């Protein structure tokens, strides 16, 4: 059972907007659909344009690495044009359309490890393969691009091995395999600190700002859930009173207006008493004793009243139960008002004592206080 404050009985219903014109709503929905379609079309066009620009950059990166191959020595000698092909495909695989910054970061680390072995012409390709592998394991790659890049990467490695004395895998030192295995394990474990670092390093400023705001929102949500859990736990201590109030609220729907109005006031005052008890544990005993004594009696009375009115006609009832019930409930409502006032006065007495102690403390220190 939920005992949050918002779900307690006898709460004021939330206001709802009144709908006057159905046709106006339909027109608004159609216009909204048109706006959504236009926004989706524009967003798709922007995404396509950005991806095309990215491919041009990847081609430029591949050409740059190919030119460097002519001037910078390496431990391997890929076949003609293989350096460009491996670098281009590696860049595309390192930065997929659906970003996974942790996988990209670990892919860049893999590329650096391969470059340190002296096999830098194909380093970006190994980094891209690591990124794609982690994406596939994490099932974050929701496009079909990897179905093309993965076979192309293998073909690029095969093409690079043409006319080489030994394969790329045989040329790579053992420590590099161990280091790449450690990178793969880190990608599988996904430590939160490493994931956060990758996001902070690789995200754009706009995405980084949204990411940090999301973290703050999650922290606020966690705090709110903790407070809600504490509140629910607090009100759960008064579960018996709350359940009786819910039963009274159900029966109150069957009462005539003059009686229902009084029962409604009693219910609201009962909720106020519960809130006072929740805020001040010293009020739990007197408030709980009062509610234990009178809430079941009120529920029993309204149930019997409704039963009598539903089973018997006015001619068969000798006494005026409407008037007597009204007088009894009215007296009960006054008692609830008085106990609520007494509990509030206890808090006022506490404040009065605190103020008196504070005044005496100031005067004892020799300060002159003007009344």
Give the residue-averaged pLDDT of 304-323.
77
Domain ranges within the chain, ordered by starting residue: 22-202, 239-364
Where does residue 5 rank: exposed (0-12), middle (13-18), buried (19+ CB within 10 A)? middle
Please state the φ and ψ torsions of residue 185, each to the nearest 5 degrees. -60, -40
The mean predicted confidence, pLDDT, of the chain is 82
What is the C-alpha to C-alpha distance for residues 337 and 281, in angstroms, rounded to an integer? 20
What is the C-alpha to C-alpha distance for residues 128 and 87, in angstroms, rounded to an integer? 9
What is the per-residue pLDDT across 8-64, written as a single tens digit (0 to 9) for each? Answer: 787 765 554 444 454 544 555 555 555 565 677 677 777 778 878 988 998 999 899
- 55: tokens are 């491919």
Q: Of 112-121, 200-209, 327-336, 350-359, which gets the smallest average pLDDT? A: 350-359
- Give how far the C-alpha of residue 101 lies from the chain's centroid of Cα atoms, to the nearest Å: 21
Where do we find the tokens 């996001």?
199
What is the C-alpha to C-alpha distance for residues 300 and 169, in angstroms, rounded to an integer? 85
Measure Cα distances from 53 to 46, 87, 150 in Å. 11, 17, 21
| pLDDT reported for residue 18 | 45
Q: What is the pTM of this model?
A: 0.55
Output the furthest CA–CA distance in the chain (Å, rounded). 115
CA dihedral 43, 49, 52, 56 (to 10 degrees): -140
Q: How confident is the model at residue 308 (pLDDT cuts 50, 70, 90)?
A: confident
What is the C-alpha to C-alpha distance for residues 55 and 44, in angstroms, rounded to an integer? 17
What is the per-residue pLDDT across 211-223, written as a single tens digit (0 to 9) for each? Answer: 889 889 888 888 8
Q: Say yes or no to pLDDT of 138 above 90.
A: no
Give the residue-averaged pLDDT of 105-129.
93
pLDDT > 70 fraction of the chain, expressed in percent and rounded: 83
């Amino acid at each position: 059972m939920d005992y949050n404050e918002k779900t307690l009985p006898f709460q004021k219903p939330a206001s709802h907007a009144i709908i006057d014109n159905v046709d106006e709503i339909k027109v608004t929905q159609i216009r909204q659909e048109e706006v959504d379609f236009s926004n989706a079309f524009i967003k798709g066009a922007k995404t396509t344009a950005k991806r095309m620009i990215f491919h041009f950059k990847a081609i430029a990166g591949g050409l740059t690495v190919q030119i460097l191959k002519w001037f910078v020595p390496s431990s391997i000698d890929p076949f003609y044009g293989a350096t460009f092909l491996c670098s281009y495909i590696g860049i595309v695989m390192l930065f997929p359309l659906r970003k996974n910054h942790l996988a990209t970061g670990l892919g860049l680390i893999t590329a650096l490890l391969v470059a340190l072995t002296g096999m830098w012409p194909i380093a970006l390709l190994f980094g891209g393969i690591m990124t794609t592998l982690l994406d596939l394991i994490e099932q974050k790659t929701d496009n079909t691009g990897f179905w093309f890049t993965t076979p192309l990467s293998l073909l690029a490695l095969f093409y690079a091995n043409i006319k080489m004395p030994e394969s790329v895998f045989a040329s790579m030192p053992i420590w590099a395999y161990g280091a790449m295995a450690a990178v793969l394990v880190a990608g599988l474990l996904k430590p939160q600190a490493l994931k956060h670092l990758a996001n902070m390093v690789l995200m754009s400023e706009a995405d980084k700002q949204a990411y940090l705001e999301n973290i703050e929102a999650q922290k606020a949500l966690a705090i709110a859930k903790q407070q809600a859990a504490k509140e629910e736990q607090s009100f759960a201590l008064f579960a018996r009173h709350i359940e009786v109030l819910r039963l009274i609220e159900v029966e109150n729907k069957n009462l005539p207006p003059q009686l229902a109005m009084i029962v409604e006031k009693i219910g609201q005052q009962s909720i106020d008493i519960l809130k006072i008890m929740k805020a001040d544990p010293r009020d739990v005993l007197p408030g709980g004793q009062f509610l234990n004594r009178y809430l079941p009696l009120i529920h029993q009375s309204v149930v019997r009243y409704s039963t009598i009115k539903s089973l018997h006609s006015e001619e068969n009832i000798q006494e005026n139960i409407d008037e007597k019930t009204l007088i009894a409930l009215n007296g009960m409502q006054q008692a609830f008002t008085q106990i609520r006032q007494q509990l509030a006065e206890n808090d006022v007495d506490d404040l009065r004592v605190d103020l008196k102690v504070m005044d005496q403390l100031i005067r004892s220190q020799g300060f002159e206080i003007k009344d």
